Amino acid sequence: MTADTRYSIHLDDVIRHIRDLPTLQEVAQELLAELDNDENNLDLINEKISMDHSLTAKVLRLANSSHYGMNSRVVTVQQATSLLGVKSIKNLIRTTILANRFPPTPCEGFDFRVFWRHSIATAICAELISRALHMKHDFAFTAGLLHDIGRLVLVISYPDRYAAAIQYRNMHDCYMLDAERTILQVDHIEAGVALAQQWHFADAVQDTIRGHHQPEIPGIHSLASVVHVADAITHALDLSEDQNDLVPTLSKRAWDTLALSETEYLAIFKETEMRVEAVNQILT
């Protein structure tokens, strides 16, 4: 592909834009930090949720969704968190905070709902894979949720230029990563890693962002392979409902490293689809 320098962006300029972005609100930072504390009990989480009317509504809607099949209606935060469990509540809070942090910006061809559907689906699938592998689920969910966050950085900072990259992708039927590199000379991996460093995300999450398209990078965290496979699965299942979606090339090494059976994968596919449908009714 021939480089088009009309819309090119220097990574240093992207980093400057990231530094100008407001960081996560102090309350959100506190809440995210508390979510990483495994000693937090339901009472403390209920208290935090009850302080946010929007979050309370989302928790109740999720608990009352058809996925959980309750015979009676869930009417309190306490009932909802008891039904959903601490991990599901923590993941819902993480998703809500990050989705609110990046409000929609006009960018022709970019659909924020499609983006978040894919991010949420990848997060859920990564969590299920990590559970099958007996890894830490919360980390996997967060890494899956953030793997494409660099796309939002580019869309919000350079909407017109990113629209040109989307147009190129549609015209040439190529991967968005290739379109970004051809049109912008900066891709969402570089932008995502820059944001992750600026916001002090965990090293494992930074590694996942860096390696979710290339999990064979020497020394990279094993979580990159989990999210790489989860990303491919959610594309293959068309969970983002993107008509221009392409299934990314799957790393054989990553697939072999996970070493899950066909039965395990079929169960993961089914559970991912059910949970994504439930969460998307709430958030997108």
pLDDT of residue 27: 46
∠151-182-113 over CA atoms, to 5°?
25
Task: State pLDDT tens for residues 265-283.
Answer: 999 999 999 888 877 766 6
Q: Is residue 82 part of a domain?
A: no
Whether residue 172 is contained in a domain is answered as yes
What pLDDT does 1 receive?
46
Residue 118 lies in a domain: yes
Could you tell me if 258 and 133 are in contact, meaning their C-beta atoms sit under 8 angstroms apart?
yes
Evaluate whether residue 38 is within a structural domain. no
Asked whether residue 210 is assigned to any structural domain, the reply reads yes
- Give the CATH number of the domain where residue 170 resides: 1.10.3210.10
Q: Tell me which residue range forms the domain holding 131.
A: 5-23+105-283
- Give pLDDT, residue 242: 76
Helix axes 112-132, 223-236, angle to 10 degrees: 130
Q: Is residue 51 part of a domain?
A: no
According to the model, what pLDDT value does residue 117 have?
87
Q: What's the pLDDT at 33?
A: 57
Write the pLDDT tens digit of every residue in 54-111.
Answer: 677 777 777 777 566 555 677 777 777 777 777 777 777 777 777 766 767 789 999 8
Of the candidates 76, 47, 50, 54, which has an alpha carbon nearest to the alpha carbon of residue 63?
Answer: 76
Structure tokens at 66: 């058809």
* Number of domains the chain contains: 1
Mean pLDDT by 10 residues, the chain (284 residues): 67 77 52 57 70 70 67 72 76 73 81 88 93 82 89 91 94 93 94 86 89 93 95 90 80 93 95 84 62
CB 190 within 8 A of CB 149: no
Question: Residue 170 falls within a domain, yes or no?
Answer: yes
Q: Is residue 152 part of a domain?
A: yes
As a three-state string, the secondary structure of 204-264 is HHHHHHHHCCCCCCCCCCCHHHHHHHHHHHHHHCCCCCCCCCCCCCCCHHHHHHHCCCHHH
- pTM comes to 0.78
Distance CA 170, CA 178 (A): 12
Listed in sequence order, the DSSP H helices in the chain are 11-20, 26-35, 42-50, 53-63, 77-84, 86-101, 112-132, 137-146, 149-157, 159-172, 176-183, 188-198, 203-211, 223-236, 252-258, 262-283
Exposed/middle/buried for 180, CB within 10 Å: 0-12, 13-18, 19+? buried
C-alpha torsion 66→70→72→77, nearest 10: -90
